[in-house]
Amino acid sequence: MRLYRINENVRKPIIAGNWKLHKTLQEAVQLVTLLKRSLPADQDVEVVVCPPFTALSETAEVLMESGIHVGAQDLYWEDKGAFTGEVSAPLIKDAGAGFVIVGHSERRQFFHETHETVNKKTKAALKAGLAPIVCVGETLAEREAGKTFAVLEDQLKGAFLGFTQEEIRKVIVAYEPVWAIGTGRTALPEQAQEAHAFIRKEIQKRFGEEAAKALRIQYGGSVKPDNIGSLMKQEDIDGALVGGASLEADAFAEIVKTAGKAAREKEVRSCCTP
Ligand code: PEP
């Protein structure tokens, strides 16, 4: 019998919306105001929105005491200094955010993010008390060449080099197959589950059973209200990182509610199946 509890101390599902380069300040405030209305504060699911830097503090202000958290989409690893254009973890924290996405495939692809920079950024986020959402995932060519697991192993090794068990417990991993991001092509729930189970196993090998069991692993890639339920039913899928569908309040709220329902059913199933 496997225990999966929403309350107590393990693996509360987490749904995060990555707004990417979208929303003016006014649009951002409008969106979070709608979300606050549709999502009661006592969700079984942890909810995070990640607006552009320009809207971090205002969205955090609107969402204060709403139960919905705010995250940034990237950070720089130095706290301060002559680094024109960069935003550090302490500044993100100061803006009212509690989370930060690290190593999104778009940053790896367009902004030369490497294992080393992902590692430094993740460490900097933890040092400032931000919860990092660390993205990993293979391209279509890598999947077709049978390299999915090798790529994931490499990315995890790089991201968490030198990490302690204690640090790993504060991290969230997002498995985002690059071929599923913004393409409308979602991984099959079984395909995603296979990758999530692999990620958990890797964490177990390097950081032990407890850390692996506690690790929350989100799936990302064309998540919509009509596919989140089947994804969340999978044993090792603990939430989602949502791009396009997080830009619209109704769709994002429905994803959160469906994820909560699926997680509750999963809890019942695992608690009561002999
Ligand atoms: C993402 O940006 O992380 C993402 C998963 O995007 P989408 O949901 O649009 O595929």
Does domain 14-35+45-60+87-272 fall under CATH 3.30.1050.10? My reply is: no
Stretch 48-62: mean pLDDT: 98
pLDDT of 269: 67
* Residue 4: pLDDT over 70: no
- Those residues with Cβ within 8 angstroms of residue 164's Cβ, 6 or more apart along the chain or in another chain: none
- Taking the CA of residue 222 as reference, the ligand 1 atom at the shortest distance is 10
Please classify residue 214 by burial: count the beta carbons closer than 10 Å to its beta carbon, then call 0-12 exposed, 13-18 middle and 19+ buried.
middle
DSSP secondary structure string, 130-174?
-EEEEEE---HHHHHTT-HHHHHHHHHHHHTTT--HHHHTT-EEE
Phi, psi of 57 (to 5 degrees): -70, -35
pLDDT of 6: 43
Q: Residue 129: helix, strand or coil by DSSP?
A: coil
Comparing CA positions, the residue from 203, 149, 197 lying closest to residue 171 is 203
Q: How far is the CA of 241 from the centre of ligand 1 (A)?
A: 7
Which of 222, 226, 231, 246 has most ligand 1 atoms within 8 Å of CB, for mutation? Answer: 222
State what percent of residues in the chain have pLDDT above 70: 94
* Residue 2: pLDDT over 80: no
* Residue 56: pLDDT over 50: yes
Per-residue CA distances from 137 to 58, 201, 204 (Å): 32, 16, 18
Helix (H) or strand (E) segment spanning residue 93? helix 89-94
Give per-residue pLDDT as tens, 15-37.
Answer: 999 999 999 999 999 999 999 99
Mean pLDDT of the chain: 93
Q: How confident is the model at residue 271 (pLDDT cuts 50, 70, 90)?
A: low
Give per-residue pLDDT as tens, 133-152.
Answer: 999 999 999 999 999 999 99
Query: Cβ(29)–Cβ(59) under 8 Å?
Result: yes
Residue 50 half-sphere exposure, CB side, CA atoms within 13 Å?
Answer: 28
Tokens of 69: 């958290």
pLDDT of 3: 39
Give per-residue pLDDT as tens, 198-240.
Answer: 999 999 999 999 999 999 999 999 999 999 999 999 999 999 9
Which of 20, 242, 246 has most ligand 1 atoms within 8 Å of CB, for mutation? Answer: 242
> 57-74: b or e for each residue (b if 16 or more CB lie within 10 Å)?
bbbbebbeebebbbbbbb
Stretch 250-257: mean pLDDT: 97
pLDDT of 162: 97
Query: Cβ(62)–Cβ(32) under 8 Å?
Result: yes
pLDDT of 41: 81
pLDDT of 23: 98
**Higher pLDDT among residues 39 and 272, named by residue:** 39
Query: Cβ(128)–Cβ(92) under 8 Å?
Result: yes
Query: Cβ(247)–Cβ(22) under 8 Å?
Result: yes
Helix (H) or strand (E) segment spanning residue 252? helix 249-272
pLDDT of 258: 96
pLDDT of 58: 98
Residues designated as active site:
104, 176
Q: How far is the CA of 273 from the centre of ligand 1 (A)?
A: 34
